[in-house]
Structure 1
């Protein structure tokens, strides 16, 4: 009965004889009750099968929804990863530009300092040769 939904004739005969032994029903009433019991069992089995199919369908829908959500999350994660990579590249490029400008300004300031030192040395040498300690001040030998 559970696998096929059919009741074997031997079981039906047993039900009929058990009902006849315990009740005073006519054979037609006994057959009617047995058929009614079998029909109820078959209806319950059909209902259980339908519920099982509904549960399977819901499970499949849930799996499909979960897979869709997983794909959405995966795509979002990949997008965020790409954004993070792009931000890291932009930050590295900005740091590179800052390093280049810092090196340029350092080189220019060193050049300016070298020119100022050279000019100071020339001026200092001229003042030394002229005997001046400070412009306007003179040194006697």
Structure 2
């Protein structure tokens, strides 16, 4: 029923325009209603876009990770110090330059046991939230023997 109503409304709108054109009136609908055309958009210079995109350098130590911008890629080789109390799947990692928290999900762990003292290579991204310490979101864990 709705579709029929839409078709009737479309035909009712289009019919007067076709009748006016057939009668010899060559004015278009836009000319008769004094509708202002939208202002053209100003194109941005291509160099503006290049300045807005910042390349993120890969972080290779905890000290660099603590000062890195959000979503920076990271590859840290360090030792698991302890599991964070009250936080599921959060571990403290130390690499000789400092300590930071690493969030390692169960899918990434794949049943691996990360006991204190385990040497690991963590690959992931740095997550920086306002007024909080940076956390590394780990996407891959490799235990080094």
- TM-score norm. by structure 2 comes to 0.17
Larger radius of gyration: 1
| Higher RCO (CA-CA < 8 Å; seq separation 6+) | 2
